[in-house]
Amino acid sequence: MADGKYTAEDIKVLEGLEGVRKRPSMYIGSTGKDGLHHLVYEVVDNSVDEALAGYCKKIIVSINKDGSVTVEDDGRGIPVDPHPTLKVPAVQVALTKLHAGGKFDKKSYVISGGLHGVGVSVVNALSKKLIVEVKKDGKVYIQEYSKGDPKTKLQVSGKTEGTGTTITFWPDPEIFSTLNFDYKVLETRFREIVFLNAGLKIILTDENKDKKEEFFSAGGLIEFVKWLNQSREVIHKPIYFKKESENNTLEVAIQYNEGYQENIFGFVNTINTVEGGTHVSGFKTALTRVINDYAKKTGMIKNGESLEGDDVREGITAIISLKMANPQFEGQTKTKLGNSEMKGFVDSIVTQSLLEFFEENPTIAKKITSKSLESAKARLAAKKAKDLVRRKNAFSFGGLPGKLADCSSKKTESTEIYIVEGLSAAGTAKDARNKEIQAILPLKGKPLNVEKSNPVKVLSSEEIANIITVIGTGVGEQFDINNLRYGRVVIMTDADVDGEHIKTLLLTFFFRYMHQLIENGNVFVALPPLFRVRKGQKDIYVYSDEELKKIDGLDNAIITRFKGLGEMSSTQLWDTTMNPKVRKIKKIFIEDAVEADRVFSMLMGDDVQARKAFIQENAKEANLDV
């Protein structure tokens, strides 16, 4: 197009799976760690669909020493007979064509987790090598691919009595920035899958770490809520019900605990709908109505009073698992259910089932309603605390805390607020910063542990109130991302035990009261160096013990260990930790909301033994000065 002409010759048609390789992030989200693991989920989801259809009982997933992953199931096996129009084996069509599979006519799979029929073909496109093996009709069929293209024809390699599909794939290093599969990430996902599909067994093996684990749940959702509440003090046995109607099945498990957090997790065809949707809305509406009706009927509330949604959901852990045909997803991550008819469907079933349960279990019904009434009292007190915070801040300059050193720019996308441990370090940070785009908020002492505090105490805390005011979005139901004052919220603490504790306390607050801020990618952790190594006239800053060991000639270097931010000069702090051009900074994101909830409740709750075990298991991953 050097001559400026734009003709039909300039329109490039990407054949087959070429488009996937050109724009992989469109199909798997990213080419980093998340995208890499998404490949495994796509293959496993096909096997789970076989389980949903009633044909698969066991899935074996192996992380192999050669960098590949093998997924084997005992389902019916992908069809191998010639496709009626394309005249090649159906398995080859499934592996080489986008939007090809048994999910579209709703005959082979009425319900499926694979959303768009792109799964296994995308995995094939993004693998330098893929081998598919199908056991069917007494024979074993095998075929090899590379980067989406068949390298061999489908061949019979032996005889068999069973059925099933085995796929082994080697992710393409030209596509992915990392090729290391994380056992824990897969473990979390597979545990969820078996809870949501009672009776299905998944075996995970990691040959590199010599680890093997078997996931199986006979109790399904009942075991799921118990597992989530294992480090909390529960107030009743789980409430469980399951109802089917045409092609839709709803399963719900509910268990309240003595805590203050609301934990409602929605799933559609085993996919975690992290943004909620119509099924979650229907559940919440029904829950509020039933508890209000019970409270009025038993005289626990009078004079036309009523409980709000927040009141009845305090301390709840609930799983809503919907299995349905033709789910329509929307939202930023395509994980919000949009089918409008599901709100009424879920509302109706939950209302009827909860009313029956409350009638048959008046002791539990009274406990739940009493907790909701206590929550209502706390809500009114929390409203007074919020109003008090607003009045206090009205006396500060511009309605902001007096100790905030604000930046001059008002452009949210380019500004950042550093929440800094200690007045001394904050003073250094104020001198070091770029005043145009970087604001500093000092923290005095350790912030409140919100996991063990009711909302009144949380919102009455001066340090927490300052953070809420400075960020600007509000909290809980009032959260509005459009009011965010800074594009990045950066936690900056010392690299010691106290610093790590403060960091965890702050992350707990953000997760419990402003989780949308994390999901929107606005929360970061600063990574100050642990050491300064002086070699001649040159200073080298080192961020981990492993990095330090790799430096040549350490015996002749002067090594300085930075125990706190305050030990650095403003120039050093800028050069190493605050200069956007050279600093190291970690973005916080929620890999799995269910696992994040469990870890925060365990780390910040009352279960000392569980916390001790977690710390011992993960101690090697932390760089601490103990």
CATH number at residue 501: 3.40.50.670
pLDDT of 4 higher than 80: no
Q: Residue 119: pLDDT above 80?
A: no
Do 297 and 347 lie in one domain? The reply is: yes
**With bands split at pLDDT 50, 70 and 90, how would you rate the model's confidence at 27?**
confident
Say whether both 246 and 291 belong to one domain.
yes
* Largest pairwise CA distance in the chain: 83
pTM for the full predicted model: 0.76
Taking residue 545's Cβ as centre, other Cβ atoms within 10 Å add up to: 10
Which residue bears the tokens 């259809």? 53
In a domain, 418, yes or no: yes
User: Cβ distance 122 to 100 under 8 Å?
Assistant: no
**Active-site residue (options: 144, 182, 187, 496):** 496
Taking residues 487-495, what's their average pLDDT? Answer: 93
Q: Domain for residue 24, yes or no?
A: yes
- Residue 391: pLDDT band (50, 70, 90) is low
Question: Does residue 390 lie within any of the structural domains?
Answer: no
pLDDT per residue as tens digits for the range 406-437: 999 989 999 999 999 988 899 999 999 999 99
Name the packing angle between helices 341-360 and 278-297 (round to 10°): 30
Residue 251 lies in a domain: yes
The average pLDDT across 176-184 equals 93
Instruction: Assess whether 28 and 87 both reside in one domain.
Output: yes
CATH of the domain at 348: 3.30.230.10
d(CA 617, CA 369): 39
Q: How many CB atoms lie within 10 A of CB 219?
A: 15
Q: Which residue has the higher pLDDT, 380 or 300?
A: 300
Tell me, yes or no, whether 260 and 187 share the same domain.
no
- The larger pLDDT score, comparing residue 550 to residue 256, is at 256
The average pLDDT across 508-536 equals 89
- Mean pLDDT, the chain, rounded, equals 86
Evaluate whether 350 touches 252 at the Cβ level (below 8 Å).
yes
Q: What is the mean pLDDT of residues 318-344?
A: 87
Bridge partners (DSSP) listed for residue 139: 136, 159
State the pLDDT confidence band at 39, using cuts at 50, 70 and 90: very high
Residues 414 and 515 placed together within one structural domain of the fold: yes
Q: What is the mean pLDDT of residues 279-304?
A: 94
Q: Does the annotation count 421 as an active-site position?
A: yes
The pLDDT of residue 623 is: 52
Quick one: what percent of the chain has pLDDT higher than 70? Answer: 89
Q: Which residue among 310, 494, 595, 597 is the active-site one?
A: 494
Same domain, 455 and 506: yes
* CATH number for the domain harbouring residue 190: 3.30.565.10
575-593 b/e with 16+ CB inside 10 Å = b? Answer: bbbbeeeebeeeebeeebe
| Same domain, yes or no: 235 and 359 | yes
Q: Any catalytic annotation for residue 494?
A: yes
> Which residue in the list 45, 72, 416, 421 is annotated as catalytic?
421
| Residue 537 within any structural domain of the chain | no
Q: Looking at 63-67, 193-197, 329-333, 490-494, which range is the least confident one? A: 329-333
Q: Are residues 308 and 423 in the same domain?
A: no
In this predicted structure, the answer to whether residue 81 has a pLDDT above a threshold of 60 is: yes
Is the CB of residue 588 less than 8 Å from the CB of residue 595?
Answer: no
Within-domain flag for 541: no
Higher pLDDT pick, 595 / 102: 595
pLDDT for residue 12: 40
Q: Which of 216, 241, 269 is the last residue of a domain?
A: 216
* 398: pLDDT strictly greater than 60: no
The residues, any chain, with a CB within 8 Å of residue 464's CB and separated by 6 or more, are 447, 448, 450, 458, 509
Q: How confident is the model at residue 340 (pLDDT cuts 50, 70, 90)?
A: very high
What is the span of the domain harbouring residue 195? 18-216
Q: Which pLDDT band holds residue 113 (cuts at 50, 70, 90)?
A: low
Domain boundary among 216, 250, 282: 216
Per-residue pLDDT for 624 more than 60?
Answer: no
In a domain, 188, yes or no: yes
For residue 318, is pLDDT > 90? yes
pLDDT given at position 243: 95
Please give the pLDDT value at position 123. Answer: 95
Q: What is the mean pLDDT of residues 549-565?
A: 75
User: Which has more pLDDT, 620 or 194?
Assistant: 194
Predicted confidence (pLDDT) per residue in 187-240, tens digit: 999 999 999 999 999 999 999 999 999 999 999 999 999 999 998 999 999 999
Which of 181, 196, 216 represents a domain boundary (last residue)? 216
Asked, for residue 547, whether it belongs to a domain, the answer is no
- The pLDDT, as a whole number, for residue 435 is 95
The answer to which of 247-256, 350-359, 476-485 has the lowest mean pLDDT is: 476-485
pLDDT at 565: 86
Q: What are 488's strand-pairing partners?
A: 416
Q: Is the pLDDT of residue 252 over 70?
A: yes
Best CA proximity match to 369, nearest among 305, 438, 282: 305
Same-domain status, 206 and 226: no
Q: Looking at the structure, do residues 343 and 409 belong to the same domain, yes or no?
A: no
Least confident of 31-35, 70-74, 162-166, 369-373: 31-35
206 catalytic residue (yes or no): no
Structural domains in the chain (count) = 3
Do 515 and 458 fall within a single domain?
yes
User: Which listed residue (18, 498, 567, 591) is catalytic?
Assistant: 498
Exposure of 364 in the CB half-sphere (CA atoms within 13 A): 18
Bridging pattern class, strands 263-268 and 248-256? unpaired
Bigger pLDDT: 458 or 250?
250
- Please tell me the distance from the alpha carbon of residue 53 to that of residue 59, in angstroms, as a whole number: 14
Most confident of 105-114, 246-255, 451-460: 246-255
Cα–Cα distance, 599 to 586 (Å, whole number)? 19
Catalytic: 555? no
Question: What percent of the chain is helix, strand and coil (3-state, nearest 5)?
Answer: 40, 20, 35
**pLDDT, mean of residues 61-83:** 94
CA angle 242, 244, 248 (to 5 degrees): 115
Give the mean pLDDT of 3-14.
43
Whether residues 242 and 206 fall in one domain: no
Quick: pLDDT tens for 433-464. Answer: 999 999 999 998 889 998 888 888 888 888 99
